[in-house]
Chains A and B, each alone.
Chain A
Amino acid sequence: MSLKKSLVVARWEFIEKVRTKAFIISLILMPTFIVIMSVVPSLLMTKADTSTVNIGIIDNTGEIAPVLNTNLTEKYKLPDGRPNYDVVVIPPGDSAKIEANEMVLRKKISSYLVVDTGIQTSRKFQYVSENVSNFKDITRFQSAVKDILVSNDLERSGISPAIVKEVTKPVDLETVRLSKEGKEEKTEAGSGFILGYIFIIIMAFFVLTSGQLLVRSVVEEKSNRIVEVLLSSTTADEIMTGKILGLSLLGLTQLAVWGLIALAFAGQLAAFVTIPDNIWWEGVFFILGFLFYSSIFVMAGAPVTTEQEAQQATTYVSMLLFLPIVLATLVAQNPSAGYLKILTLIPLLTPTMMAFRIPIQTPDLWELLAGTGILIASTYFCMIAAGRIFKIGILVYGKRPSLNELVRWATKKG
């Protein structure tokens, strides 16, 4: 096989595809997608407020509101040092709730609490807001009120206020991730999952874009018989190698652009995502995964004649890619479950499962090595099979071959 002609094909595929609208769109679309899908929700969930939040309180006991105000303002500060919350006391009475609701709707306060007289024994109070899924605020208010009730109880049983203050001191939790090498890294809880998801989404998107480009270029060449001109100048293997090379180059360009965008946002990202030190394993599975899925796309795309069939073929292959993303939820539940190790060693799932597991909890070395081995072997066999299917498939017009025929082509030597 002459690499020279493969390079000619690769150069052509690269230059022609880089100029397409679809590619340029994908360059911008993907980072936007990632930001929206992963960073934004986590930003919303954990990011500190930037201005003081007004919360109302209808305090029928008259004891809770003042203490709550001091506690909240002391404990929660905005990044610039101002208090995070300002407690607005709404005088209790028949029209108190109506007034409070009105204030929420007019955005005077973001939410309000209703404390009834029996709270010390009932241990119940209300939180009213337009949006009741603001877990950060809810947990804070809950624990603040609880602290007050506990101090009240303690003081009533004769314990000195100083001791009460001491025992109700807040507890801070710092999450630390232990790497395989025993190194401790401070991370935000859940950042591994975010990173894992980012990796598999990038991989899926990456494979899909190039896979679709690959299939479409084959369909175009078949429909106008250019494929015959190509085959009269070079061999099917060289064409296939060239196409995969060209598309890999395209993918690298994509990654480089995304990488630059990521760098630009590095400041913001760093707060949520810590790059694990085993990141290069991620690279190994990324590259192998790309080649493996590319060969599957070649197999699916070569026998196709029309755009419509191409759509179908790519859809089927895409489903194979998204299956692991569904399985990723299992990883999220228990990253070290035994059956995940077995799933990870199924070639079709290896690249994505590894990409997802590595940032969360590095798999054992034997798993990494076995995964690499299995993936190299299956990529090798898939490439050979893809080459054979490509060789026959690109000259087949019209009727789509059956699965049996595909298997026969793939196993036919020469």
Chain B
Amino acid sequence: MLSVSELRKTYGSTKALDGVSFEVKPGEIFGLLGPNGAGKTTTIRISLGIIEADSGTVRFNGRELNVAMKDHLAYLPEERGLYRKSKVLDVLVYFGGLRNIAPPEARKRALHWLEKFELAGVANHKVDELSKGMQQKVQFISCLLHEPELLILDEPFSGLDPVNQIVIKDMIREMKTRGKTIIFSTHQMEQAERLCDRICLINKGRVVLYGELGEIRRKYGNDTIHMEFEGDSSKLKKLSGIATMDLYENYAEIRTNDGVGRHEFLKQAVSLVDVTKFSVEEASLNSIFISAVEADKTGGENVA
């Protein structure tokens, strides 16, 4: 579907992208993950032909990206907005027109989607009369009018309350069942964990993790300790034999160094805090994310 290879982009003296490559398969939900400033948005903009890479290629369905292909793509930028003073239906028809949908057809489709999202009543309202959640839905609809093959969503969950996060999540899942391919970027691992088939983790303009979500977790093994506890969490920093630790107020995810047994670890832990739950499972994407980024920072080996 979409394959990018060896993308490089420099802004002034900062390397925004330093050889990013990945491939998105048809019909999947692909997560483009990474901390803030990792290069996610730059990658997305290049993939959509909004900006040009200094070097590297973007291919869509096997052919180099060109202007005509833009009609098969959809894009929801971060910090998005709409024309505030215009009417909802007019904006949708305009965006449809930009993707070569004739106005009468665009109008028909827009009304269909507005109906579906229970927004039919506001079709002739001005955008700034709508609540934020409603605007989010309208923006999402603006991406769907031209039945794109590939939807690229930049931080679709950022700044949304839990209710609207669910709305967007359901929309993404619905698109998948309709056979669309979806790429979304996020730094919220929980959403990615629940939605993605495959992920690509970027840090400082380089790919540090890439592949099928389940596979990546298996690579991290089944030996991650998940521990819930009560007491002073800072005491846990005294633990020895720890490879990585993702520490919260009453919860910690820990991988021990080779040779450090879990009994030995537990013994240490109970002497420091009151352990209420202890299990050994697969790592969460969040702790994988953190350890991968940490490893990258200290110049450690790339886990990919």
Contacts and interface: CB of A to CB of B under 8 A. Distances in A.
Contact of A395 (B51, B79, B95, B152): B51
A343 B189 CA distance: 65
A233 B83 contact: no
Contacts of B97: 8, 11-12
B169 interface: no
Nearest to A230: B98
Interface stretch (A91-99, A196-204, A217-225): A217-225
A16 interface: yes
Contacts of A229: 75-77, 80, 95, 98, 142
B70 interface: yes
Contact of B79 (A8, A225, A230): A225
Nearest to A217: B83
B76 to A, nearest CB: 8
B77 A225 contact: yes
A8 B78 contact: no
Interface string A4-17: 11001101100110
B94 A228 contact: no
Contacts, number: 71
A395 B16 CA distance: 15
B82 A8 contact: no
User: How many interface residues does chain A have, given as a range?
Assistant: 20 to 34
B48 A232 contact: yes
A51 interface: no
Contacts of B48: 231-232
B73 interface: yes
B142 A228 contact: no
B86 interface: yes
Nearest to B139: A229
B49 interface: yes
Contact of B94 (A12, A220, A231, A414): A12
Nearest to B93: A12
A234 interface: yes
Contact of B77 (A9, A11, A220, A228): A228
A228 B50 contact: yes
B135 to A, nearest CB: 10
A133 interface: no
Contacts of A235: 67
Contact of A224 (B50, B75, B81, B152): B81
B95 A233 contact: yes
A225 B67 contact: no
Contacts of A226: 80-83
B94 A225 contact: no
B125 interface: no
Contacts of B204: none
B184 to A, nearest CB: 15
B108 interface: no
Interface string B40-59: 00000100111110000000
Interface of B: 45, 48-52, 67, 70-71, 73-86, 90, 94-95, 97-100, 142, 152
